[in-house]
Amino acid sequence: MDSRRHHDMGGLDAGPIDQHEVADEPWHKRVKAVVQLLVRNPDSPMNVDELRRGIEDLPPEDYDRLGYYERWTRSTAAILTEKGVFSEAELDAEMAEIEQRWQRNGPS
């Protein structure tokens, strides 16, 4: 069967375009900086095409629910785990530690 993948949306019906300008949050800018550092360095563990594959491989409901830089984040974590840069356990532990710090100190 001719299967169209979820991200490959050219020509599909969709509603009006929301032209509202929304400024990126500071953490979005950090994600952009980190990902660009990775994909523009030929020696880094992730290239831009892997980043795109990781975004395309998100479950469709996540692809639609998440914002642009949230999708980048999920893909980057998945690709770097796949590449063995860090393990899922390391990522989970780091997230837990940061969450504790954020809960203690509040927004910095």
Binding site for another protein (CB under 8 A): 1-5, 7-22, 24-27, 29-34, 36-38, 40, 44-45, 47, 49-50, 52-53, 55-56, 64, 66, 68-70, 73-74, 76-77, 80, 83, 85-86, 90-91, 94-95, 98-99, 102-103, 105-108
| Contact in structure between 46 and 80 (CB atoms under 8 Å) | yes
- Helices 48-56 and 68-82: crossing angle, nearest 10°? 110
**Residue position matching structure tokens 């953490």:** 27
Q: How far is the CB of 59 from another protein (least distance, A)?
A: 14
What is the token pair recorded at 89?
């356990």
Residue (26 or 61) nearer to another protein, CB: 26
